[in-house]
Amino acid sequence: MMMNWTPARIAVLVASVSASCLALLGCSGTGSAPGRGGVLPEISVGRVAETPPIPSRWRDLGIDRSLMIPAGRYARKRMAPMRPSYITVHSTYNQARGANARAHARGLYSGNHTSTHNSLGYLAWHFTVDDGAIFQSLPCNETGEHADYNGPGNRRSIGIEMCENRDGSWSRTMDRTARFIAVLMKEYRIPLDHVVPHQHWRMIRYSDGRDLGHKNCPHLLMEGGKPGKKWADFKSKIDRYRRQLG
């Protein structure tokens, strides 16, 4: 069933995202949310933070935090604070049946997404989106490993993976992603020109310094390996939802 995304429902999501992205850090200090001029809370690496219960209002919006990567383990074994100023959009390149948001989030949760070329040894992004759900894997003010190894894409952006599973709907996945990006833009005061494809970031491999150039990702929204009309249309959709938020 398609979600009825009324302005009131979207406003609830804005508030929910703000609360969850900060509550999950196991902080040892105080501060206001990133993007509002406050000081980022410290991330305590020496202790494992418990994931709070999922607020009931999140369930109707299809956002799930039950598979948050455990603090201090796998892709969060070295947790670095981040003030997000970009949103980086990816797609999974996995069209297998069942390769939905839950499956990818479970892979991150279990430490199955490894890398031999970054300094952490694991891949990690913040949210995975399919046609019916959004799974959160990292706090929004914690650095991920999803864009460009040691570059600004990782250090400054919230990473979102869109699922391509053939038993799902790509059009609904794109629409859900666009709506959610609009919420994140409002919460973190991220302008539309800072919503970028993975292709935007030049990838210099950490392990050997090899320049891999710009990845064709999300490939279903790129044309000839670069942003074109498809990406422009996607950005226009995001902009429409953002303007609805006021």
For residues 90 and 159, the answer to whether their CB atoms sit within 8 Å is yes
How far is 178 from 33, CA to CA, in rounded Å?
Answer: 22
Q: May I ask the CATH class of domain 7-244?
A: alpha beta
What pLDDT, on the 0 to 100 scale, is given for residue 88? 97
Length of the chain: 246
Cβ partners under 8 Å of residue 203, min gap 6: 147, 148, 149, 151, 211, 212, 213, 214, 215
SS3 of residue 175 by DSSP: helix
**From first to last of its 246 residues, what are the pLDDT tens digits of the chain?**
444 555 555 454 544 444 444 333 333 232 223 333 333 333 443 333 444 454 444 455 667 889 999 999 999 998 999 999 999 999 999 999 999 999 999 999 999 999 888 888 899 999 999 999 999 999 988 999 999 888 899 999 999 999 999 999 999 999 999 999 998 998 899 999 999 999 999 988 888 888 889 999 999 999 999 999 999 999 999 999 999 988
Q: What amino acid is encoded at 96 in this protein?
A: A
Closest CA to 49 of 31, 22, 30, 14: 22
Sign of CA dihedral 57, 63, 67, 73: negative
Determine the distance from the C-alpha atom of residue 154 to the mean position of all C-alpha atoms in its chain, rounded to a whole number: 11
What pLDDT, on the 0 to 100 scale, is given for residue 30? 27
For residues 163 and 130, the answer to whether their CB atoms sit within 8 Å is yes
Q: What amino acid is encoded at 135 in this protein?
A: F
What pLDDT, on the 0 to 100 scale, is given for residue 118? 85
Characterize the bridge pairing of strands 134-136 and 127-129. antiparallel
Domain range annotation of the chain: 7-244
Query: Token match 């869109």: residue?
Result: 162
Sign of CA dihedral 128, 194, 245, 30: positive
For the record, the structure tokens of 103 come out as: 């499956």
